[in-house]
A and B are shown apart, each in its own frame.
Chain A
Amino acid sequence: MEILSSLWSGFAVAALPINLALIFGGCFAGTLIGALPGLGPVNGVAILIPLTFAFGLDATSSMILLSAVYYGCMYGGRISAILLNIPGDEPAIMTTLDGYPMAKKGQAADALAISGLASFIGATLATIGLTLFAPMLAKAAIHFGPSDYFALYVMAFATIGGITGTDPRKTLLAAMLGLMLGTVGLDPSTGVARYTFGSFNLYDGFDPIVALVGLFAISEILFFLEERAHGGGLVPPGRVFPRFSRVREGLGASLRGSLIGFVAGILPGAGASLGAVMSYSFEKRLSDKGTFGQGDPRGVAAPEAGNNAASGGALIPMLTLGVPGSGTTAVMLAMLISLNIQPGPLLFQRSPDLVWGLVAALYLANLVLLILNLPLIGMFTRVLGLPAWCLMPLVVAISYLGVYAITHAAFDLMVMVGFGILGFVLRKLEFSLVPVVLGLLLGMDMENNLRRALSISGGDFTILVESPIAVTIYVLTIAFLALSLWLSRRSIVPTPS
Chain B
Amino acid sequence: MIRKLNGLKAAGVAATMLFALPATAAECIAPADPGGGWDFTCREVGRLLSEQGLVDGNMQVTNMPGGVGAVAYANVAGKRADDAELLVATSTVGITQIAQGKYPAGTDAMRWLAMLGADVGTIAVAKDSEIQSLDDLMARLKEDPTSVVTSGSSGAGGWDHIRLLLLAQAGEVEGLDQIRWVQFDGGSPAVTQMMGGQVDLVSTDLGEIKGFVESGDIRVLALLSDQPVSAFPDLPTAKSQGYDVTGYNWRGFYTGGEVGDDDYAAWVDKLKTLYDSEGWQETAKASGLEPIWRGGEEFSAYVAEQEEQMAEISRQIGVIQ
Residues of A bordering B, CB below 8 Å: 39-40, 42-43, 45-47, 49-51, 53-54, 89-90, 141-146, 186-191, 200-201, 203-204, 207-209, 268-269, 271, 317, 321-327, 330-331, 333-334, 337-338, 340, 342-347, 405-409, 444-445, 448, 451-452, 455-456, 458
Q: Does B215 touch A at the CB level, under 8 Å? A: yes
Q: Which of B10, B43, B65 contacts A49 (CB 8 A)?
A: B43
In the complex, chain A residues whose CB is within 8 Å of the CB of B181: 455
Task: Please tell me if the beta carbons of B5 and A330 are within 8 angstroms of each other in the complex.
Answer: yes
In the complex, chain A residues whose CB is within 8 Å of the CB of B229: none
Q: Which of A47, A90, A342 contacts B211 (CB 8 A)?
A: A342
Q: Chain B nearest CB: distance from A324 CB in Å?
A: 6
In the complex, chain B residues whose CB is within 8 Å of the CB of A337: 1, 40, 286-287
Q: Chain A nearest CB: distance from B13 CB in Å?
A: 5
CA distance A340 to B284 in the complex (A): 10
Q: Which of B15, B63, B100, B199 contacts A50 (CB 8 A)?
A: B15
Q: Does B188 touch A at the CB level, under 8 Å? A: yes
If A50-B21, A50-B58 touch, whether A327 touches B9 (CB-CB below 8 Å) is yes
Flag the segment in B132-140, B190-198, B251-259, B270-278 that touches A.
Answer: B190-198
If A322-B211, A334-B39, A338-B40 touch, whether A445 touches B10 (CB-CB below 8 Å) is no
Q: Chain B nearest CB: distance from A339 CB in Å?
A: 9
In the complex, chain A residues whose CB is within 8 Å of the CB of B70: 200, 203
CA distance A42 to B5 in the complex (A): 12
In the complex, chain B residues whose CB is within 8 Å of the CB of A89: 10
In chain A, what residue has the closest Cβ to B157?
A: A191
CA distance A20 to B210 in the complex (A): 33
In chain B, what residue has the closest Cβ to A318?
A: B188
Task: Please tell me if the beta carbons of A343 and B9 are within 8 angstroms of each other in the complex.
Answer: no
Q: Which of B7, B156, B195, B198 contacts A326 (CB 8 A)?
A: B7
If A47-B15, A142-B195 touch, whether A327 touches B8 (CB-CB below 8 Å) is yes
If A337-B40, A406-B13 touch, whether A191 touches B34 (CB-CB below 8 Å) is no
Q: Does B281 touch A at the CB level, under 8 Å? A: no
If A330-B8, A333-B35, A455-B182 touch, whether A203 touches B215 (CB-CB below 8 Å) is no
Binary interface encoding of chain B residues 31-64 relative to chain A, with 1 for a CB under 8 A from any of its CBs, else 0:
0011110011001100100000000001001111
In the complex, chain A residues whose CB is within 8 Å of the CB of B21: 50, 54
In the complex, chain B residues whose CB is within 8 Å of the CB of A331: 8, 11, 34-35
Most buried by A among B74, B155, B217: B155
Overall SS of chain A's interface: helix
- What would be 22 A-B contacts, judged by CB atoms less than 8 Å apart? A40-B10, A42-B34, A54-B21, A89-B10, A143-B196, A143-B197, A186-B155, A200-B66, A268-B189, A324-B5, A324-B188, A330-B35, A331-B11, A338-B43, A345-B215, A346-B211, A346-B214, A346-B215, A407-B12, A408-B12, A452-B182, A455-B182
Q: Chain B nearest CB: distance from A116 CB in Å?
A: 24
Residues of B bordering A, CB below 8 Å: 1, 4-15, 17-19, 21, 33-36, 39-40, 43-44, 47, 58, 61-68, 70-71, 74, 100, 102, 104, 146, 149, 155-158, 180-186, 188-189, 192-193, 195-199, 210-212, 214-215, 217, 283, 286-287
In the complex, chain A residues whose CB is within 8 Å of the CB of B35: 46, 324, 327, 330-331, 333-334
CA distance A235 to B296 in the complex (A): 62
Task: Please tell me if the beta carbons of B10 and A208 are within 8 angstroms of each other in the complex.
Answer: yes
If A190-B156, A191-B157 touch, whether A43 touches B195 (CB-CB below 8 Å) is no
In the complex, chain A residues whose CB is within 8 Å of the CB of B74: 200
Task: Please tell me if the beta carbons of B193 and A191 are within 8 angstroms of each other in the complex.
Answer: no
Q: Chain A nearest CB: distance from B27 CB in Å?
A: 11
In the complex, chain A residues whose CB is within 8 Å of the CB of B104: 200
In the complex, chain B residues whose CB is within 8 Å of the CB of A448: 6, 183, 185
Q: Chain A nearest CB: distance from B232 CB in Å?
A: 12
Q: Which of B65, B193, B210 contacts A204 (CB 8 A)?
A: B65
Q: Which of A271, A325, A406 contacts B11 (CB 8 A)?
A: A406
